[in-house]
Structure 1
């Protein structure tokens, strides 16, 4: 009930502050398990996802410091978000994330880590590749753009136009059972290029050169079998460095 009330309030506020093109979100399956991979622009990312993908059961990984803010702590607690220590191998958080997927829910991950604010992609962190390998569930690229203009528009009393785009779902298949750091980064870059392909050229940032995009580690779902595919319970273990 509380989650529904929060949903109504945030949707009401977003209606007055933003004009959202959410047509693409209809392609998101109603049930998991699935990892939703997105770009991280600013504080609006999580409310947008939680609101316009409702009532899908989505849990996101959120930096631990976010919970120091009482308002954000309340919201992310209602949404069931998982606090994670950035810059370290937080296996406790990864274990909780694995349980979310095992329960058939959606896990939202922003591989860039920090907010970019300007809407341009920065280099992704390999945690998303580790989770993808260990969980063996499909990843669905979801990007949005337009929120980088939110603060300026608010000052001018203008609504912000926000657009969502959805890519093809895929699995991540490593070349060996325990890939090292370099290979994990290669997998992450392949995932990030799938996000870049969906964005306007001006928002691609670190991944602007699409000619460098490869898919050696990605297995795409050409027959739409990933939406409710079989799940292999992940066992999160420490990776080689």
Structure 2
């Protein structure tokens, strides 16, 4: 079960912490925004649905490697995506992910290093970006979600915000033809899971 949450109820709930945004992220943010400006045009709907502070999980559909990239660059607070470990070996993109302190996750097994990293961020009142499907959809349609979001929600009781990213499937072809790709990000209403009393 879920319950919707207003931003007014969220404000001021996060405990103060000594968390600092990584230096690499602060240095390379302008570079990322410039690269995106060269190749895409992003329209964002619903920014007001993102709580300004407190533990948060943004859940998004995933059809292209660019989905979490454009989301990170177009939301009003710091957020860290989880990504498959293999992506860190990609040229350019992989290096940017390392500088941005993206959390690498080894799929197919319980990756305790990734769990600890994500736990630390949520405990510090920060935001994670998770694709519940666990992998890209090859058809553009939603696949059955995995347990990751529920796993962290049970441990930290964060606000959950659903996000839909559309338009990225056209990026590869537009890039080859040197055309801009229009991308739309729709941010839904925040909610929290309501756990049965017997399972708390």
- For 1:30, the equivalent position in structure 2 comes to 52
1:102 to 120, 123, 126: 123
2 CA distance for matches of 1:8 and 1:109? 23
Gaps of 5+ in 1: 179-241
Cα distance change of structure 1 residues 80 and 32 upon mapping to structure 2, 3 Å threshold: farther
Coordinate RMSD, CA, aligned = 2.0
- For 1:71, the equivalent position in structure 2 comes to 92
Preserved CA contact (<8 Å) 1:111 1:128: yes
1 CA distance for matches of 2:142 and 2:78? 26
1:92 to 98, 106, 113: 113
2 CA distance for matches of 1:91 and 1:4? 27
1 CA distance for matches of 2:97 and 2:174? 25
1:137 to 135, 138, 158: 158
More strand per residue: 1 or 2? 2
Preserved CA contact (<8 Å) 1:39 1:121: yes
2 CA distance for matches of 1:118 and 1:19? 23
- For 1:6, the equivalent position in structure 2 comes to 28
Please state if 1:152 is matched with 2:173: yes
Q: CA deviation at 1:7?
A: 1.6
- SS across alignment from 2:52: coil
**Deviation sequence 1:189-236 (CA, Å, 0-9, x none):** xxxxxxxxxxxxxxxxxxxxxxxxxxxxxxxxxxxxxxxxxxxxxxxx
TM-score normalized with structure 1 length: 0.67
- For 2:67, the equivalent position in structure 1 comes to 45
**Deviation sequence 1:23-74 (CA, Å, 0-9, x none):** 42243223231111111121212321221125x2211211111222353332
Cα distance change of structure 1 residues 73 and 157 upon mapping to structure 2, 3 Å threshold: closer
Number of equivalences:
177
1 CA distance for matches of 2:146 and 2:28? 31
Cα distance change of structure 1 residues 79 and 32 upon mapping to structure 2, 3 Å threshold: farther
TM-score normalized with structure 2 length: 0.79
Q: CA deviation at 1:152?
A: 1.9
- For 1:219, the equivalent position in structure 2 comes to none
1 CA distance for matches of 2:173 and 2:29? 25
Gaps of 5+ in 2: 1-22
